[in-house]
Amino acid sequence: MALHLTWVFGFGLLGNIISCLVCLSPLPTFYQICKKKTSEGFQSIPYVIALFSAMLWLFYTIFKKDTILLITINSFAFFMAIGYIVVYLFYATKKDKILTFKLLLLFNVFGFGLVCVLTLFLTQGHKRVQVLGWICMIFSICVFVAPLFIARKVIKTKSVEFMPFSLSFFLTLSALMWFFYGYLKKDQFVAIPNILGFILGLLQMLLYMIYRNPKKVVEVEPKLQLEISEHVVDLEKLGPTICSEITIVIPKLNDSGNGFVEDQNAKRQAMEIMKAIDVVNKL
């Protein structure tokens, strides 16, 4: 029994440590947002969903016994998610701000409020814990699914700029730790969603490996000059007879104001060149 509790505590502690790293992994992303002073290209929905999930799990721990390890990690996730959302809103465009506020009202105000009202007034005791457990499990799955929006962007743009590898790696490792914690503690509401989290984490890492080195497309400027080989006349093959018939003109208006003037000097030089070539050939 003592050994079992030790394993439960061990996986729970590792789950806390790794989950903290998961919460910290978006820091490079938000550093770039602060540096560029724009959140364009990034989504706020993963952080809104993460905040909602943390709120639900904290509410779940109120009625579930012996959940100190769940309280610690979800409290940390709660404050980190708030921090990310605040920074995002500070640099977001007007359109993204409106969308984020709508999501916050939908999930974190009306959604959480509805869950609280229904569970407090319509359920009690063990049934309340079961209902809250199912709700927490569903939205934990949503937390794992939320990064798929970013994965879709990765596939579309063939760039992993918006999906740091550290986030995917620690998310996968965290899911593994919490699965064993829930399994040993016989808490299906913790174990089941982390199976999906582990699978989706592996998928994200696979996408990162595929698109980490995108092929650079080199734009070739159109040639401003025509290929000489397409327009050179081989005078040696023409011979002096045909060359004498060639009319060489220059872009100069004649006395009548239209057309071109034949360049007699150029024509005479061409004839002399052909005569010289003919002499060389006879030798």
Q: What is the pLDDT of residue 151?
A: 75
* Rounded Cα–Cα distance for residues 212 and 165 (Å): 9
pLDDT band at 202 (very low <50, low <70, confident <90, very high): confident
Q: Comparing C-alpha atoms, which of 155, 164, 178 is closest to residue 70?
A: 178
* Region 258-271 average pLDDT: 59
DSSP label at 257? Answer: S
Amino acid at 90: F
Whether the pLDDT of residue 85 is over 90: the answer is yes
Q: What is the pLDDT of residue 283?
A: 58
Q: Comparing C-alpha atoms, which of 255, 165, 20 is closest to residue 12?
A: 20
* Region 194-222 average pLDDT: 74
Share of the chain above pLDDT 70, in %: 72
**Contact criterion met (CB below 8 Å) for 163 and 204:** yes
